[in-house]
Structure 1
Amino acid sequence: MSSTPTYAQLRSVGSYRPSHVLTNETVAAHLDVNETWLHRRTGIRTRRVADDRETLAYMGAQAAVTATRRAGASTDTVDCLIAASMTHQDHGASLARSIADLLPEPPRAALDVNAACAGFCVALELARCLIQGHTFNTVLVVGSERMRDIITDDDRATAPVFADGAGAVLLHGAPEPGIGSPAWGSDPARRHLITRPDPRQADGELSPLQMQGPQVYRWVIDHLPDVATTALERAGVDVHDLAAFIPHQSNDRIITALSVALALPPHVTVVRDITHSGNTAAASIPMAMDTLLQTRPDLAGKLALLLGYGAGMTFAAQVVQLP
């Protein structure tokens, strides 16, 4: 085992967005509401929907290849792939293994994480520990979701919000830390707020996700500013040191309320990828990070606060140095 201190840093990011765009006009027609109501309630104007070819593994692999290429690396340098998803239905097979096997040079180690919409942040911490523990030197973390598979078009709580896509980051060992210790956990007393009580119904069809939106909103605003503040403290920084805030893209009103609660100064960019990507659960933070760095490449190397939260009322936050 190496005695040289090794830290984990983000090296690159990539994303995959399905080609089919689902507009508010189409969603509103199913719900018998108007587009203005939809946008005011969610902040979303369009969202992406995967077709049959765009499987979780396919989208995840596309995002992973993009992240690897942007790092100037090849997939044969990757030691491990961690996949985060809440929509992987085949529990007898690893999504991470399926993604890895689509890469040009598959890594031998692959494992799955399911912490719902906090899954990416949880997987990122696992990758950090594997690198800092000298188990691996290079790790891909992938979030991939087909949320439209587990909702119904006539549910006003979920249909306007959820979407499909994938995002990935490449981490590697480095002499300086690039990822702060997380604040993470869950609130089991509130797990009923977002749930799938019977994953498979009597007719064999998958039962849809159920969400109590107003109660989720209150839980997030009541509890997660403290989680974010703890993550800042563990990283040894405060909000004035940040260049960006990249929360889970759950709802634009929640993003705004969190930004206000954290008293973010004007120079901190609050990422709102939700406007055109919708809520992609475990994929939302890396997809939003990619959007940020494509539009603001000057923020590379600066600090960002990540905050994920979702079903099971799981949550995780950490400060990262942007790749």
Structure 2
Amino acid sequence: MTHGSRVLALGHYQPARVLTNDDLAATVDTSDEWIRTRVGIRTRHIAAPDEPVDRMAAAAAAKALAGSGLAAEDIDLVLVATCTAVDRSPNTAARVAAQLGLASPATMDINVVCAGFTHALATADHAIRAGSAARALVIGVEKFTDFADWTDRSTCVLVGDGAGAAVVVASEEPGIGPVVWGSVPEMGHAVRIEGNPGRFSQEGQSVYRWATTQLPPIARRVCEQAGVRPEDLAAVVLHQANLRIIEPVARRIGAVNAVIARDVVDSGNTSAASIPLALSKLVERGEVEPGAPALLFGFGGNLSYAGQVIRCP
């Protein structure tokens, strides 16, 4: 009997081009010191013009699928978390399914911006628990640089491109804990990608205050729902928005023995891709043991949040 689901394998992809803080300082009024002091970022990866969201998503998903030992035809659900897909139809999930040669999966895109991956992971877990899917690809992907205002030094220094993916399968022993999710609708304007063409903007101080004060107790509730004490976490993978948010939030959660993902330093803010990208790297480098508990917690656009404790593959 199936009692839940677990993450079987992970994969990630980043474009080859790397943009440094010094590169940015040549085009906008900023400096390496200014960027590192305020957000902790050193570099970010920039997708090429011929490198759309679906290609990056497929590359990360192919790596995760190869690591899972499953065949393409085994996948019956594809969920893609993204807010930067340009085309409306076919959706990104359908394009990924076609590129990977999947048989006849359900395909859905989910737009919850920076909390997209954890929402999508919970959705896959719910579908598997309900018996409507057995093996899912869950992908977070963004080409955030397409939506950057490269004249605004407060936001253009943040963004990067990339993708991360997880293969999620039915499991007698649940490896994905209950999701705790929600939003603050009256503050949804604090992070925006609006207009035509869309441009990313945010009220940075409002987001910082909300994240550092309101999110730690919610994250502790995620641990409580999973039956895991914060001090027993092996890893904490928060949305990689800003090192000045990640470090104090992780500290206030009480995860004193955990590896704290700091991929934002090298990858920038990749929105829905940031959690699976950072988690995949931690697992690939052997920084967390198979079966170890990791807290995943996404937050940001819409002022939405979602988190769960998983057992690492």
Q: TM-score range by the shorter chain?
A: over 0.9
2:243 to 252, 268, 274: 252
1:300 aligns to what SS in structure 2?
coil
CA distance in structure 2 between the aligned counterparts of 1:92 and 1:5, rounded to whole angstroms = 34
Q: Cα deviation per residue 1:124-177 (whole Å; 9 max; x = unaligned)?
A: 000001111111110000111000011111212211111100010000011101
Aligned residue for 2:204?
Answer: 213
Alignment partner of 1:154 is 2:151: yes
Q: Cα deviation per residue 1:215-265 (whole Å; 9 max; x = unaligned)?
A: 110010121112101111111111122100000000011001101211221
Q: Cα deviation per residue 1:5-60 (whole Å; 9 max; x = unaligned)?
A: 33100000000100110111111222222211111111111100000221111000
Give 1:229's aligned amino acid: R
CA distance in structure 2 between the aligned counterparts of 1:98 and 1:309, rounded to whole angstroms = 26
1:276 to 258, 266, 290: 266
Structure 1 segment 53-92 matched on structure 2, within 5 A: 53-92=50-89
2:90 to 88, 93, 96: 93
* TM-score (ref. length: structure 1): 0.94
* TM-score (ref. length: structure 2): 0.97
2:152 aligns to what SS in structure 1?
coil
Give 1:278's aligned amino acid: G
Paired residues in the alignment total 313
Aligned residue for 1:286?
Answer: 276
Give 1:274's aligned amino acid: V
Alignment partner of 1:238 is 2:238: no
Alignment partner of 1:311 is 2:308: no
Aligned residue for 1:102?
Answer: 99
Structure 1 segment 22-61 matched on structure 2, within 5 A: 22-61=19-58
CA RMSD of aligned residues (A): 1.2
Structure 1 segment 105-254 matched on structure 2, within 5 A: 105-197=102-194, 199-200=195-196, 206-254=197-245
2:289 to 294, 299, 307: 299
CA distance in structure 2 between the aligned counterparts of 1:281 and 1:298, rounded to whole angstroms = 23
Give 1:227's aligned amino acid: I
Going from structure 1 to structure 2, the CA distance change for 1:298 and 1:269 (only over 3 Å counts) comes to: closer
CA distance in structure 2 between the aligned counterparts of 1:95 and 1:60, rounded to whole angstroms = 8
Whether the aligned pair in 2 keeps the contact of 1:81 and 1:107 (CA below 8 Å) is: no
Whether the aligned pair in 2 keeps the contact of 1:157 and 1:211 (CA below 8 Å) is: no
1:209 aligns to what SS in structure 2?
strand
CA distance in structure 2 between the aligned counterparts of 1:208 and 1:263, rounded to whole angstroms = 36
Aligned residue for 1:6?
Answer: 3
Greater shift in the superposed pair: 29-38 or 79-88: 29-38
**Any gaps of 5 or more consecutive residues in structure 2?**
none
**Any gaps of 5 or more consecutive residues in structure 1?**
201-205
Deviation at 1:298, TM superposition (A): 4.8
CA distance in structure 1 between the aligned counterparts of 2:289 and 2:24, rounded to whole angstroms = 35
1:31 aligns to what SS in structure 2?
coil
CA distance in structure 2 between the aligned counterparts of 1:104 and 1:92, rounded to whole angstroms = 18
2:120 aligns to what SS in structure 1?
helix
Whether the aligned pair in 2 keeps the contact of 1:6 and 1:134 (CA below 8 Å) is: no
Deviation at 1:106, TM superposition (A): 4.4
Give 2:84's aligned amino acid: T
1:82 aligns to what SS in structure 2?
strand
1:305 aligns to what SS in structure 2?
strand
